[in-house]
A and B are shown apart, each in its own frame.
With several copies, the nearest count.
Chain A
């Protein structure tokens, strides 16, 4: 073993990224998004990107930053309701948008990282999501055939990672990150804590290092909360 996958920072991690590429970005809402990599992407300036992510950020954070700079040509997501600029670009036709069911999105990413080119799911049968897709009955129920999703670059955020690329996520910041990590030709992980091999229990690894190609410790995490809901102490 001993494969040191460290790169110096987010900018260095994006080496090889080109206009027109397909990217995946982990996160659910603003929870578990690769903040450093998104900021570096905005600096990088690559254009005509296809972005696959469950959401599109908010106007001034997350993938919203790349919408502002008009680097995104097409967005594949399941829910984009938090972003006014997104809605404007979509309704005006500036932005291509492919909205797909959340479970289908998750499974398509996993399929891309599992060598499964297609699978059947019940989600979306009979709706416009199934238009143009093969449908089939199994055991009396109707299903839609969905294809895998893969990315030139997958950008994920983990809580902890070691230099071999093994990743551990924290709470619901896990979400799409492990699935997108599997589906990248080049997968970059930014982590809050970069540790030495051996500091993560093998049984606690969520993403085995084989799926990760570059890793670095992120900085200045904002971790913005979208809906701060609290209760009063009794």
Chain B
């Protein structure tokens, strides 16, 4: 069965290593914070200028001056640091952030990503996504495998304006986990009960399947 959003987030959380600084994008990536494995300490970076982002505030304790990059009210933790937007992206570009998790509209089998614009229709802007994908050494993209029309979002070539080129290393969808390799999307794990054939049928880009592909543990 295809993964739900929380299961996707949970699988991503297993990629976290102790001591990581992590930037979580808006949407499914934000949910990753709810699934950090015990014994693993990570520090969340929010690109609007906060290192050490805490949970949502208790009701009545919201502070308009303390939000995350998704404009949600958040809290500080002991050891948090505040900084301006230039310093925030300095640490991102200098690759001090160990892992970046973000959503996408399309990914191509050479690692290109499109996530910020549907020409003539949806033009919200790229926010910090272009800086993040151009800089991060370790990027996980998470998204649904297909769009609402059932069309594959894992493509030979992105049809939408790009956010970054050749930068995506790993993708998690509701159907499985993939590594971007020179030969294309390499399927490394299947969602429980989802067949390789189903994934092949829903993947427009080059798909690499080697030997037995194990089922994802959640």
Which residues does A use to contact B, with CB under 8 Å?
1-3, 28-32, 54, 77-82, 87, 90-91, 97, 99-107, 109-110, 112-116, 121-129, 159, 162-164, 166, 169-179, 182-183, 196-198, 200, 202-203, 205-206, 208-211, 223-233
Contact = CB atoms under 8 A, between A and B. Distances in A.
A190 B60 CA distance: 27
B126 A210 contact: no
Interface of B: 19, 21, 41-43, 45-52, 55-74, 76-97, 112, 120, 123-131, 134-135, 161-166
A224 B65 CA distance: 10
A171 B65 contact: yes
20 contacts: A1-B41, A3-B43, A28-B49, A28-B69, A81-B124, A82-B71, A102-B85, A103-B86, A104-B130, A106-B88, A107-B86, A121-B93, A122-B131, A164-B52, A174-B84, A179-B85, A198-B79, A202-B80, A224-B64, A232-B58
Contacts of B91: 182, 208, 210-211
A139 B131 CA distance: 18
Between A102, A104, A124, A162, the greatest number of chain B beta carbons within 10 A of the residue's beta carbon is seen for: A102
A115 B135 contact: yes
A123 B50 contact: no
A31 B126 contact: no
A127 B125 contact: no
B61 to A, nearest CB: 8
Between A104, A113, A127, A198, the greatest number of chain B beta carbons within 10 A of the residue's beta carbon is seen for: A127
B93 A114 contact: yes
A206 B81 CA distance: 9
* Contact residues of B: prevailing secondary structure: loop
Contact of A229 (B56, B96, B127): B56
A225 B164 CA distance: 31
Between A2, A82, A223, the greatest number of chain B beta carbons within 10 A of the residue's beta carbon is seen for: A2
The 5 A-B pairs of least Cβ separation, nearest first, read: A115-B93, A103-B89, A198-B78, A197-B79, A81-B124
Given A2-B41, A99-B123, A103-B93, 7 more contacts: A28-B71, A112-B94, A164-B79, A171-B82, A176-B85, A202-B52, A209-B51
Contacts, number: 259
Given A115-B93, A172-B67, A230-B73, A101 B126 contact: yes
A112 B94 CA distance: 7
B120 to A, nearest CB: 7
A124 B131 CA distance: 7
A211 B45 CA distance: 13
B113 to A, nearest CB: 10
B135 A31 contact: no
Between A87, A100, A229, the greatest number of chain B beta carbons within 10 A of the residue's beta carbon is seen for: A229
A91 B122 CA distance: 9
Given A171-B66, A228-B73, A205 B81 contact: yes
B49 A172 contact: yes
B55 A208 contact: no
Contacts of A115: 90, 92-95, 135
Contacts of B161: 127-128
B58 A101 contact: no
Nearest to B124: A81
Given A123-B130, A227-B72, A2 B79 contact: yes
B134 A205 contact: no
Contacts of A164: 43, 52, 79
Contact of A175 (B63, B84, B120): B84
Between B78, B85, B89, B90, the greatest number of chain A beta carbons within 10 A of the residue's beta carbon is seen for: B85
Contact of B124 (A28, A80, A129, A202): A80
A123 B125 contact: no
Contact of A182 (B21, B46, B94, B134): B94
Given A3-B43, A90-B123, A211-B96, A28 B164 contact: no
A122 B93 contact: yes
A100 B182 CA distance: 30
